[in-house]
Amino acid sequence: MQRQRSGYQAPYNVQAACGKINESFRTGAQALEFVSRVKLLCSSYQPFAVAILSLALVQCGGPGGSSAATPIVTPSLTPAITEYSAGISPGSQPYDIAAGSDGALWFTEFSDNRIGRITTGGAVTEYAAGISAGAGPGSIAAGPDGALWFAEYSGSRIGRITTNGVVTEYSAGVSPNAGLTGIAAGPDGALWFTEVVGRIGRITTAGSVTEFSAGISVGAQPFSIAAGSDGALWFTEVGGRIGRITTVGVVTEFSAGISANAIPTGITAGADGALWFTEVGTNRVGRITIGGLVTEYSAGISVSAQPFGIALGPDAALWFAEYNGNRIGRITTGGAVSEYAAALSANANPNGIVAGSDGALWFTEAGADRIGRLK
């Protein structure tokens, strides 16, 4: 069961949003199921709450990690899903997942302040030493130094864990209460991360941090980030845009072609040279070229799916986790969608997703405290 984090102060507009949503609840405007879900997210699952609360505000009448591609293989017509729970602490809320240089998968445990490691055979190890209390590890990415780097949403720090489990945290240069959400390796050898308060950060492997805010719109809420084929970093803005930042900090924002109330969340580079992103608010997957041309796809995506994490698969298609739909989706670069749910536990809430060294897709189940594998 998801648990409330004591002493945590939500950054930016999350607290205000919770208040507005609760007021709408008192008017009886929303269904009880939706009320229960959003209140739970308000109290205990802040990274996802940033996106889902924006969705809730719309419905209540208010305002408005990438890994390298593996060789292309042909997926089976009926991919099988396997779930792993042994070794994962109950109530840990696995959030994001990344492929490590050691061939294993590494994932964050948001509620229990741990980093987990799972082999392709399903053996799990959890690491807590060196991670500050109340850190709230969220997004995780493989770094150019062979370590895994993660964003601490609640702690406003960047963490680094070696494949031997040694953790280092960096806070110097990171603004307090920044709300770190996404992280990705950049083409310049540094790690780039998003701050939901309205900044993009950069940290070298030596721990030197620079923050950028110029060119980012007020209320943008940068969320996820990925390296593009053009040598820049591309990021989603919960506020309804896709942003691009060069390695020297020049920002461009794109909104044309993105539906109102889309709430862009996950983003990854596609095999076609474009960036692909999820829209949790409108149940679409979007594609943006490096020239800024946007195409949205909704056909084949179930109603209320809430696509969240997205990753490039070994078959050159894009695979995405449907948080509310409890499915894993696949979209080709031509826009053809397939969804898979067989053997996935009820209320699993798939969230982060990545291609593993074994040619499978691996994903986190935030609601069921499991790691899933699809192949």
Nearest to 115 by CA among 134, 91, 140, 90: 140
Chain mean pLDDT for the chain: 86
pLDDT tens by residue, 247-282: 999 999 999 999 999 999 999 999 999 999 999 999
Q: Do 28 and 149 reside in the same domain of the chain?
A: no
pLDDT digits (tens, 9 = 90+) for 238-253: 999 999 999 999 999 9
Verify that 215 and 85 share a domain, yes or no.
yes
Q: Is the pLDDT of residue 48 over 70?
A: no
**Residue 365, pLDDT above cutoff 70:** yes
pLDDT tens digits, one per residue of 291-346: 999 999 999 999 999 999 999 999 999 999 999 999 999 999 999 999 999 889 99
Average pLDDT on 12-25 reads 40
19 with 135, same domain: the answer is no
Angstrom CA distances, 3 to 9, 45, 157, stand at: 15, 8, 22
Instruction: With respect to residue 333, please indicate whether it lies within any of the assigned structural domains.
Output: yes
More confident residue, 31 or 91: 91
If phi > 0 it is left, if psi is from -120 to 50 it is alpha, else beta; for residue 204 that is beta
**Residue 91: predicted pLDDT:** 96
pLDDT of residue 333: 98
Q: Which two tokens stand for residue 283?
A: 């149940």
- pTM comes to 0.85
Domain co-membership, 200 together with 291: yes
* Rounded average pLDDT over 5-23: 38
Residue 76 in any domain: the answer is no
State the pLDDT at residue 78.
77
Domain hosting residue 221, numbered range: 81-374
Contact 335, 299 (CB under 8 A): yes
Instruction: For CA atoms 63, 222, 16, 113, give the dihedral sign.
Output: positive
Residues of the chain with pLDDT > 90, as a percent, come to 78
Task: Specify whether 99 is located in the same domain as 44.
Answer: no
| 162-185 residue pLDDT tens | 999 999 999 999 999 999 999 999
Q: What is the pLDDT of residue 50?
A: 60
Residues 244 and 310 in one domain: yes
pLDDT of residue 141: 98
* CATH number reported for the structural domain that contains residue 200 in this entry: 2.130.10.10
With a cut of 70, say whether residue 208 has pLDDT above it: yes
